[in-house]
Amino acid sequence: MLANISWSPAPDLVALYGLVLQFLVPAGSTVFYFNPQTSICELDMLLWTNVTENPKIIWQDNEPYPLLNRRHGYNIFVLACLSGNSFDSQLEVLITTLTRLRSVRILIELDAEEFSWRATEVLTFCLKNSVLNVVVYFKNWKDSFHIYSYQAFPKFSLIKQHVSKDREPVIFPYQLRNLKGYKLRLQPDLSPPATFRYGSHGEQISGFLWQYLGSYAQSLNAGVHMVYPSFPRRKTAASDYMILYTRNGSVDFGLTTVMIVYNYEDRSTDYSYPFMFLNWCTMLPTERALRISALFEHILTLGSALFILFGYLLVFLGIPFTVKYLGISCRGRMIRLVTRMFTLILLSACSSQLISLLIFPPLEPRIRSFDDLLASGLKIFGMRNEFYFLNAFFRAKYASAFHLSDNPNELYDNRNFFNTSWAYTITSIKWRVIDIQQRYFHHPVFRVSKDLCFQWDSPASILIAPESIYRDSLKQYILNVAQSGLLRQWLIHSFYDMVRAGRMSIKDYSFKRSPLPLRFEDLRLCWGICGISLIISGIVFGIELLIFYTNVFLNSL
């Protein structure tokens, strides 16, 4: 195609354009040509001679192209013609245009005399604004044609390469393939099991997010520098503070699990690609066995007792009357024997039912909804700032079911030491750690209820700068980790690290059920029935005596 060009550029430029075409050949790519000063550049000749059939966007205004990232993806190749006298303002406009598209390839022709220090200024400005894939060459070159790029890691270094038709330079190399020991700046939220410090002086750090990003740094041949938080951790979530550090470039990553749905929509650019999906539910104490005094109510219900009494009266009082009416002779001894056999069977059935209930007592009614929670009197221990993320109608209806606190340590202490006086709000990440710990119990103390959830399958991300140069690389890493299943392994490893750090203990917090002898208060129902029966018997006996002595009194008159 270059052979059909009517103008005759230098052979070195032809060689460069030949390399450029390697990136313009894909049919889906778009050429974005930026020339705010309408300067006459060699790039103009390249475009107007139809070197490529790819679609083109010509932008010659000295203001940002509106919403380029919403109209196009990463399949853009940028050609820019900048003035050497005002390149900084023009480059600022171009970089603003490339919001969320900073990783696209950019070829800049600078209308100025060729000087290495000028190329350094341009490329340093690009590095400061997270533009890695950029190549610069000068329009007014003299002796030999050169292109300028830079190496970002471990520190900025200018790369000057000679271009000729016999030698192809390396342009647009993948900068993140090897960071050569450059240290990524991580800020942990120090919230177990994501990240936590341990050691005699807190000099060590662990947690599944620490291992997650530490492994990512190793994949880039990079080191890690921890920027410990200095913000207050009370009423405001850690992510609200950490997002300020990622935005101003103080840190590269904020190590906190952020549920994207629960935050403001304008913060979507501050999140990485979701590395897992979280549920935010309620952790309830497991249902306890019924008290012994309540077991007697499960032997025979009131309806069953009335049915048996009615059947007894019908059979053993009605049959003798019917037999006598029909003139059939039937001995009373047979009736009494059948009556006693029926009583014996009934007592044996009730006794066996009582014994089975004492050996395997039934559990208390299961809480299956927030209405059941209100009826049970159990309250959810939660954070006040999290409570206001919930729906206003829900808060108004179930506010009395919550016990809210501004102190996260109070919540952690009660939950980590399995205080069954409360239910607790919990994410699926923290539940996995608690579930692992309960495997060492005689029986589980808490269960997570899928019926009492506040959010289902919310994408959880890591805080990252909106224009971070690591965004695409981290996304690919997240996909690889998801396929390998390493996240589950890191979560399990975090639990044992917390045990070694003294933040959790392998201790049985469950209540061991041991058989106990029956106590006087356990038989309250039996004593009550017996007392009521004696009272009824006394009343009947009193009525009989009253009738008898009334007749005697009347006969004596």
pLDDT of 6 > 50? The answer is no
Confidence of residue 98 (pLDDT cuts 50, 70, 90): very high
Mean per-residue pLDDT for 73-86?
84
DSSP H stretches of helix in 198-277: 208-219, 238-247
Mean per-residue pLDDT for 381-399?
86
Three-state secondary structure call for residue 184: strand
Asked if 128 contacts 88 with a C-beta cutoff of 8 angstroms, the reply is no
Mean per-residue pLDDT for 223-247?
79
pLDDT of 493 > 90? The answer is no
* Residue listed under structure tokens 């040509």: 33
356 CB-side CA count, 13 A: 8
Q: Which of 7-21, 216-230, 474-488, 497-511 has the lowest mean pLDDT?
A: 7-21
pLDDT of residue 148: 92
Inter-CA distances, 275 with 47, 146, 254, 260, 539, Å: 42, 43, 14, 11, 76
* Residue listed under structure tokens 């935005």: 247
Question: 151 φ, ψ to 5°?
Answer: -105, 120
Q: Which of 259-273, 317-331, 461-475 has the lowest mean pLDDT?
A: 317-331
Residue 78 forms beta bridges with which residues? 32, 106
Most confident of the ranges 238-242, 246-250, 496-500: 246-250
| Strand 56-59, strand 30-34: pairing | parallel
pLDDT of residue 456: 83
Top pLDDT among 41 and 536 is at 536
Residues in the chain: 557
Top pLDDT among 471 and 25 is at 471
Q: Within a 10 A sphere around the Cβ of 389, how many other Cβ atoms? A: 16
Taking phi over 0 as left and psi of -120 to 50 as alpha, with beta for the rest, 199 belongs to left
Q: What is the pLDDT of residues 425-435, one digit of tens each?
A: 888 888 988 88
- Rounded to 10 degrees, the C-alpha dihedral 421/423/426/429 comes to 60
pLDDT of 220 > 90? The answer is yes
The angle subtended at Cα 407 by Cα 404 and Cα 410, nearest 5°, is: 85
Three-state secondary structure call for residue 161: strand
DSSP state of 268: G
Q: Which of 4-13, 27-36, 111-120, 412-421 has the lowest mean pLDDT?
A: 4-13
pLDDT of residue 4: 43
Closest CA to 291 of 4, 84, 15, 521: 521
Asked if 424 contacts 342 with a C-beta cutoff of 8 angstroms, the reply is no
pLDDT of 151 > 60? The answer is yes
Q: What is the pLDDT of residues 7-47, one digit of tens each?
A: 455 666 666 666 666 655 566 778 888 988 766 777 776 66
Instruction: List the CATH code of the domain at 2-173.
Output: 3.40.50
pLDDT of residue 19: 66
Three-state secondary structure call for residue 9: coil
Q: Give Cβ neighbours of residue 420 (< 8 Å, ≥ 6 apart).
A: 285, 445, 446
Q: Give Cβ neighbours of residue 46 (< 8 Å, ≥ 6 apart).
A: 17, 20, 79
pLDDT of residue 531: 83
pLDDT of residue 232: 65
pLDDT of 134 > 90? The answer is yes
pLDDT of 330 > 60? The answer is no
Taking phi over 0 as left and psi of -120 to 50 as alpha, with beta for the rest, 426 belongs to beta
Q: Determine the Cα–Cα distance for residues 171 and 153; give it in Å rounded to an integer.
A: 16
Top pLDDT among 478 and 319 is at 478
Inter-CA distances, 122 with 225, 344, 452, 521, Å: 28, 102, 56, 87
Measured over the CA atoms of residue 354, residue 360, residue 364 and residue 367, the dihedral's sign is negative
Q: At what angle do helices 332-359 and 318-326 cross, to 10 degrees?
A: 160
Average pLDDT for the chain: 81
pLDDT of residue 39: 65
pLDDT of residue 470: 94
DSSP H stretches of helix in 317-407: 318-326, 332-359, 370-376, 384-387, 392-398
pLDDT of 169 > 50? The answer is yes
Which helix (H) or strand (E) segment holds residue 545: the answer is helix 524-555
Asked if 19 contacts 25 with a C-beta cutoff of 8 angstroms, the reply is no
Q: Determine the Cα–Cα distance for residues 445 and 430; give it in Å rounded to an integer.
A: 15
Q: What is the DSSP string of 13-32?
A: HHHHHHHHHHHH-STT-EEE
Determine if the peptide bond prior to 193 is cis (ω within 30°).
yes
pLDDT of 199 > 90? The answer is no
Q: Go through 238-247 and write b for each residue having 16 or more CB atoms within 10 A of its CB, e for each that does not.
A: bbebbbebbb
pLDDT of residue 261: 58
Q: Determine the Cα–Cα distance for residues 304 and 310; give it in Å rounded to an integer.
A: 10
Q: Determine the Cα–Cα distance for residues 87 and 95; give it in Å rounded to an integer.
A: 12
* Residue listed under structure tokens 């990553």: 253
pLDDT of 514 > 60? The answer is yes
Q: Determine the Cα–Cα distance for residues 385 and 229; give it in Å rounded to an integer.
A: 19
Q: What's the predicted TM-score (pTM) here? A: 0.76
| Strand 380-383, strand 402-405: pairing | parallel
Instruction: Identify residue 384 by its one-letter amino acid code.
Output: R
Closest CA to 56 of 44, 40, 42: 44
pLDDT of residue 478: 95
Confidence of residue 266 (pLDDT cuts 50, 70, 90): low
Asked if 144 contacts 153 with a C-beta cutoff of 8 angstroms, the reply is no
Top pLDDT among 239 and 539 is at 539
Closest CA to 525 of 298, 361, 352: 298
pLDDT of 228 > 80? The answer is yes
Q: Within a 10 A sphere around the Cβ of 81, how many other Cβ atoms? A: 24
Confidence of residue 152 (pLDDT cuts 50, 70, 90): very high
- Rounded to a whole number of angstroms, the CA Rg of the chain reads 40
Q: What is the pLDDT of residues 342-389, one digit of tens each?
A: 777 777 777 777 777 777 777 777 888 999 899 888 999 988 878 887
- Show me where the domains of the chain are located: 2-173, 292-359
Q: Which of 35-49, 81-95, 217-231 has the lowest mean pLDDT?
A: 35-49
Q: What is the pLDDT of residues 277-297, one digit of tens each?
A: 888 899 999 887 667 666 666
Residue 186 forms beta bridges with which residues? 226, 253
pLDDT of residue 5: 43
Q: Determine the Cα–Cα distance for residues 355 and 295; give it in Å rounded to an integer.
A: 10
Top pLDDT among 225 and 526 is at 225
pLDDT of residue 209: 92
